[in-house]
A and B are shown apart, each in its own frame.
Chain A
Amino acid sequence: MRILIADDEPAILMSLDFLMRKEGHQVFVARDGEEAIQLIEKELPEVIILDIMMPKVDGYGVCQQAKMLKADYHPAVVFISAKIADSDIEKGYQMGADLYIPKPFSNRDLVKKVHELYEKLKN
């Protein structure tokens, strides 16, 4: 599957990029919201993994633009964030996320959940 990862933490980007490529996916990475939107418009990834607090455009903004991009484009959006209060998580889902994973996360857990989500949305 095609997957976009956006985070302003280079180290996190580095590890997720490696992880997803090892799983056999095609990966695009972005270091801020603007770059993420450009890549989404160009590549139309099936899964989008977003940090929330990013420069230029935050994760919420990227999520909304992605969901409204085209009528026949329905990407799965996953937030990964250090905002972990219940209210933050609730807000994440309200802003259109399909999954909200608090930082720090376990790689296996993340990969498993993203797969489940992808399978669910495909059916």
Chain B
Amino acid sequence: MGVWEIAFLSIAYLGILFSLAFWAEKKKAQNKSLINNPLIYALSLAIYCSAWTFYGSVGQITSSGLSFLSVYLGPTLIMILAWGIVRKIIRIAKIHNITNIADFISTRYGKDSRIGLGVTLISLFAGIPYIGLQIKAIAQSFDLITQATPSSTFYLDPSFVLFIALTVFILVLGPKKFDSSEKHEGMIFTIAMESIIKLIAFIAVGIYISIQLYKGWQADPQLANIQLPSIETNGGYGNWFIQFILCGVAFLFLPRVFHVAVVEINDEENLKQASWIFPLYMLLINLFVIPLGIAGYAILHRGGMDPDLYVLGLPLHFNSNVLAFIVYIGGFSAATGMVIMETMAISSMISNNLIMPLLLQRKGFISENQTNLGRINQNIRRIMIIFIMILGYIHYRETEQLVNLVSVGMTSFVIVAQFAPATLLGIYWKKASRQGALAGIFVGFIISAALLFLPSLGISTDTFRIEGLNPISNAAYWSISFNLLFLYGVSIMSEQSGKEANQSYLFVDVFEYSQNVENSTIWRGKARLRDLKLALHGFIGKINTEQKIKQIAMANNISLQDVYADPILVTQTEKILAGFVGSTSARLIISSISKEEQIGMSEVIRLLQKSKDLQESNAALVKIDAQKNDFLTTVTHEIRSPITSIRSLSEIMVDHEDISNEERKAFLETIIQESDRLSRLVNQVLDLEKLAAGKANFNMRPIDLAEVIEKAMLNFTAIAKQNFVQISIDLAKKRTNRQIEGDFEKLVQVIINLLSNAIKNVEPEKGLIQVRLFENATHLFLAVEDNGIGIDPKFHDQIFEKFKQVDNPNRKIESSGLGLSISKKIIEMHHGTIHLESSLGHGAKFIIKLPIHKTA
């Protein structure tokens, strides 16, 4: 296929991606996010699969057998564990508005600018060859498919035009000025689309070649005897295991993966599904590596083709141009996706941790450029993207023939893995200190760089070579071990500063404090509101600044009238700025406009604890308040009825002196009855409150339940007669020697409550109430049964609640609605239960169950 044809199609493909990104941004503006779902999130994570995966796996299988699998199983393991580890990192990053791995580590260790800078430089160091590698993959596949000869003058090289197009693409989609800091909806969407394209392309060529391979075997059985190197021939399981762990830890700390996994995630919940979708993706994209490797080795090995190009070479060999083009686009997707995200992530690190701090520390810089900082930041990032791209391109041009895809990738992994100890220990171990982190990262980096690069300069490192390990595993083993050792050793020997200790608590206990950290302030100092606003203008614009400040003030109940801003406002402003320029630079900007006072560790914890406690007790209070309100409304309502009668009848007697004596007497009796009702109600409310507060006095002693019933009946026989209700008492076990331990008077009260309840429920003259006492080995039972209207089972649960009166025709003779809830409380204080058996029309039966007194 022609050079310009392919170049044009490649750029057109970038154009399509660009319109997809534009579309996604537009959807986002309409609040219809395309990327806030587990599938797109998992697909964007597949940015891990760069050109190294797409072309390199097949290359690797021909040289070192199945060891390529460790590259995929490591991240699979991490994603399966994601809900623990990755979610914690995501939560921390969200709370502190952290947007890259350098900010993450430096924020953990007291916002130390040296750590941030170190991580940035190491990422750059590891990233450049990796980016160069992708450019190489693009160029080589381009040359192979077009059969073009690479020119020694770079600007005459046809693939150079792709490099320029890609750079422009990143610049247009990348750094934004006025946006919610580091969210790139469009970019993530295109990354996910590219992940689909590369998967489809790889599976398509895999199926096609497998069929060809099968046909070949049928034609020539000899082909089936081709041997590929296995794990054992290449260092055995030691290598395999170390690489497995290495790829797992490095996965998350690759700047591009950290960015999509942690910074761009919209909802933690997406992790749950992604923890199986992503491993599935890894499985699918590796499915055809072996057949492709075997076929490539059988067909193209003799022709001397670079094994890294077998994937594209095979369809070309079979003259399948369409398939070859699909493969080319798949590889192009894999490479461009990686380059886009990696340059974005590294450029933001360089800007946040190197350039911006340098500029901000220059005298007068902030005050001169106050409202321009956002634009300056954006431009620095653009320049850095161009700078990184050029470095990557130079790396590719200078080392073109020297390295294969996998070795460069693995080298980067070993270096990036040096961030793992400081990060992972940092989020689980509070003692991990800044000194320890600095020492660990530094020592780990030096060892890995020495073991990886000295041999290529002709200096032997064989003395440190563990037998059976290849150079990559060997370097990983030594560097990570020493990194851990130094981190641990220096941490336990060094003292943390207050600021560091603060951060360690905020990181390790993030789930405990997260809500409070977001809303609280651990900062004390003075900054003028005007200065804060000016600092924000430069990043989010004047209108957004005013809105944002108002929002924060409203949410936290802060006054905006004072000249000096509330500390919460200062903290929140710093957090917003951190999203744009990183924690180091944000701290510099804030400290340039404010005077800070240090707060000690214990005070921070106290503040956090306080706000947490307050939050909890507040929630409890709100609930209690609602219950109290309900209760009060009902009580006042219940009180109103007797008061109404008393007032009305009294007024009649005042206004009408001519009423008869009988009438006067009837009225006065009613007034007395209603007054009794009122005082009974008040007493019951007080009783209930006492019981609820646990303040009621219980005079516990061994008692005979039969005596309790007799005492209750003493008060009740007259009332029953008055209401023409018959009461039958069956105390078959009347003279049982079984006793219970209880408060005699309170139990009498319970039985009176149940009896009055029963009287209300039966019809006069037909009413029959049965009281029975029986027992089993451990408990005495007391049942009060009536033949009244009964209670619908759907109300049984409510009936013991305060003031729950189930409508029935005869209700409310003397009911306050509190009797049953008081009875229930009293029985519960006796370690007993009370329940109701009833249905509509079949009477009601209350059964009390009380434990038998042990010594009796």
What residues of chain A have their CB less than 8 Å away from a CB belonging to chain B?
8-12, 14-16, 18-19, 22, 32, 55-56, 82-85, 103-108
Does the CB pair A107–B640 fall under 8 Å? no
* Partner pick for A9 among B644, B659, B809, B810, CB 8 A cutoff: B644
Does the CB pair A8–B812 fall under 8 Å? yes
Does the CB pair B637–A83 fall under 8 Å? yes
| Those of B160-180 within 8 Å (CB) of chain A | none
Does the CB pair A14–B670 fall under 8 Å? yes
Does the CB pair B644–A104 fall under 8 Å? yes
* Partner pick for A104 among B643, B659, B663, B673, CB 8 A cutoff: B643
Choose, from B210-218, B326-334, B450-458, B646-654, the stretch at the interface.
Answer: B646-654
Does the CB pair A12–B645 fall under 8 Å? yes
Does the CB pair A11–B670 fall under 8 Å? yes
Given contact pairs A9-B645, A14-B666, A103-B644, a sample of 19 additional A-B residue pairs in the complex whose CB atoms are under 8 Å apart? A8-B812, A9-B644, A11-B673, A12-B644, A12-B645, A14-B645, A14-B667, A15-B645, A15-B649, A18-B652, A18-B659, A18-B663, A18-B667, A55-B808, A55-B811, A82-B640, A82-B644, A108-B651, A108-B655
How far apart are the CA atoms of A12 and B663 in the complex, in Å? 14
How far apart are the CA atoms of A119 and B807 in the complex, in Å? 37
- Count of residues in B whose CB is under 8 Å from the partner chain: 29
Does the CB pair A14–B651 fall under 8 Å? no
How far apart are the CA atoms of A103 and B644 in the complex, in Å? 6
Nearest A-chain residue to B673, judged by Cβ: A11
How far apart are the CA atoms of A9 and B815 in the complex, in Å? 12
Nearest B-chain residue to A10, judged by Cβ: B670
Nearest B-chain residue to A31, judged by Cβ: B809
Interface string of B245-265 (1 = CB under 8 A from A): 000000000000000000000
Among A84, A103, A105, A106, residue most surrounded by chain B Cβ atoms (within 10 Å): A103
Does the CB pair B645–A11 fall under 8 Å? yes
| Those of B614-642 within 8 Å (CB) of chain A | 633, 637-638, 640-642
Nearest A-chain residue to B643, judged by Cβ: A104
> Could you jot down 11 A-B contacts, CB within 8 Å?
A9-B645, A11-B673, A12-B641, A18-B659, A55-B812, A82-B641, A84-B640, A104-B644, A105-B647, A106-B647, A107-B648
Nearest A-chain residue to B807, judged by Cβ: A55
CB distance from B791 to the nearest CB of A (A): 14
Cross-chain pair count, CB within 8 angstroms: 70
CB distance from B242 to the nearest CB of A (A): 72
How far apart are the CA atoms of A24 and B685 in the complex, in Å? 42
Which DSSP category, helix, strand, loop or mixed, fits chain B's interface? helix
Does the CB pair B651–A107 fall under 8 Å? yes
B674 interface residue (CB < 8 Å to A): yes
Nearest B-chain residue to A81, judged by Cβ: B640
CB distance from A38 to the nearest CB of B (A): 14
CB distance from B15 to the nearest CB of A (A): 62
| Across-interface contacts of B645 in A (CB, < 8 A) | 9, 11-12, 14-15
Does the CB pair A19–B673 fall under 8 Å? no
B363 interface residue (CB < 8 Å to A): no
Q: Beyond A18-B652, A103-B644, is A11–B666 a contact (Cβ under 8 Å)? A: no
How far apart are the CA atoms of A11 and B655 in the complex, in Å? 18
Does the CB pair A105–B655 fall under 8 Å? no
B656 interface residue (CB < 8 Å to A): yes
CB distance from B62 to the nearest CB of A (A): 80
| Across-interface contacts of B655 in A (CB, < 8 A) | 107-108
CB distance from A25 to the nearest CB of B (A): 15
How far apart are the CA atoms of A55 and B815 in the complex, in Å? 14
Does the CB pair B809–A105 fall under 8 Å? no
| Across-interface contacts of B633 in A (CB, < 8 A) | 85
How far apart are the CA atoms of A22 and B660 in the complex, in Å? 12
How far apart are the CA atoms of A22 and B643 in the complex, in Å? 22
How far apart are the CA atoms of A84 and B637 in the complex, in Å? 9
CB distance from B727 to the nearest CB of A (A): 24
CB distance from B678 to the nearest CB of A (A): 11
Does the CB pair A106–B651 fall under 8 Å? yes
| Across-interface contacts of B810 in A (CB, < 8 A) | 55
How far apart are the CA atoms of A82 and B651 in the complex, in Å? 19
CB distance from A64 to the nearest CB of B (A): 18
| Across-interface contacts of A19 in B (CB, < 8 A) | 648, 652
How far apart are the CA atoms of A8 and B807 in the complex, in Å? 12
Does the CB pair B811–A103 fall under 8 Å? no
| Across-interface contacts of A9 in B (CB, < 8 A) | 641, 644-645
How far apart are the CA atoms of A9 and B677 in the complex, in Å? 12
* Partner pick for A82 among B637, B666, B670, CB 8 A cutoff: B637
| Across-interface contacts of B807 in A (CB, < 8 A) | 55-56
Q: Beyond A22-B656, A108-B655, is A15–B648 a contact (Cβ under 8 Å)? A: yes
CB distance from B608 to the nearest CB of A (A): 41
* Partner pick for B640 among A11, A22, A85, A103, CB 8 A cutoff: A103
Q: Beyond A11-B673, A55-B809, A104-B643, is A16–B656 a contact (Cβ under 8 Å)? A: no
Does the CB pair B647–A104 fall under 8 Å? yes
| Across-interface contacts of B674 in A (CB, < 8 A) | 11
Nearest A-chain residue to B656, judged by Cβ: A22
| Across-interface contacts of A106 in B (CB, < 8 A) | 647, 651
| Across-interface contacts of A56 in B (CB, < 8 A) | 807, 809
Nearest A-chain residue to B666, judged by Cβ: A14
Q: Beyond A55-B809, A56-B809, is A105–B640 a contact (Cβ under 8 Å)? A: no
Nearest B-chain residue to A110, judged by Cβ: B648
| Those of B666-687 within 8 Å (CB) of chain A | 666-667, 670, 673-674
| Across-interface contacts of A22 in B (CB, < 8 A) | 656
How far apart are the CA atoms of A55 and B637 in the complex, in Å? 17
CB distance from A81 to the nearest CB of B (A): 9
| Across-interface contacts of B652 in A (CB, < 8 A) | 15, 18-19, 107
CB distance from B506 to the nearest CB of A (A): 46
How far apart are the CA atoms of A15 and B659 in the complex, in Å? 12
Among B645, B655, B663, residue most surrounded by chain A Cβ atoms (within 10 Å): B645
* Partner pick for B644 among A10, A55, A85, A105, CB 8 A cutoff: A105
Q: Beyond A9-B644, A15-B667, is A32–B809 a contact (Cβ under 8 Å)? A: yes
* Partner pick for A105 among B641, B642, B648, B649, CB 8 A cutoff: B648
| Across-interface contacts of B640 in A (CB, < 8 A) | 82, 84, 103-104
How far apart are the CA atoms of A8 and B811 in the complex, in Å? 9
Nearest A-chain residue to B641, judged by Cβ: A9
Among A10, A32, A104, A105, residue most surrounded by chain B Cβ atoms (within 10 Å): A104
CB distance from B841 to the nearest CB of A (A): 16
Nearest A-chain residue to B645, judged by Cβ: A11
How far apart are the CA atoms of A39 and B647 in the complex, in Å? 27
| Across-interface contacts of A11 in B (CB, < 8 A) | 642, 645, 649, 670, 673-674
Interface string of B555-598 (1 = CB under 8 A from A): 00000000000000000000000000000000000000000000
How far apart are the CA atoms of A79 and B811 in the complex, in Å? 21
The 8 closest A-B pairs by CB, nearest first: A11-B645, A82-B640, A104-B644, A15-B648, A103-B644, A107-B651, A11-B670, A104-B643
CB distance from A107 to the nearest CB of B (A): 4
* Partner pick for B648 among A32, A85, A104, CB 8 A cutoff: A104
CB distance from A32 to the nearest CB of B (A): 7
| Across-interface contacts of B659 in A (CB, < 8 A) | 18
Nearest B-chain residue to A32, judged by Cβ: B809
Nearest A-chain residue to B642, judged by Cβ: A11
| Those of B787-810 within 8 Å (CB) of chain A | 807-810
| Those of B764-806 within 8 Å (CB) of chain A | none
Nearest A-chain residue to B677, judged by Cβ: A11
CB distance from A51 to the nearest CB of B (A): 9
How far apart are the CA atoms of A18 and B644 in the complex, in Å? 15
CB distance from A3 to the nearest CB of B (A): 16
| Across-interface contacts of B673 in A (CB, < 8 A) | 11
| Across-interface contacts of B811 in A (CB, < 8 A) | 55
Interface string of B60-78 (1 = CB under 8 A from A): 0000000000000000000
CB distance from B190 to the nearest CB of A (A): 55
Nearest A-chain residue to B805, judged by Cβ: A53
CB distance from A21 to the nearest CB of B (A): 11
How far apart are the CA atoms of A108 and B652 in the complex, in Å? 9
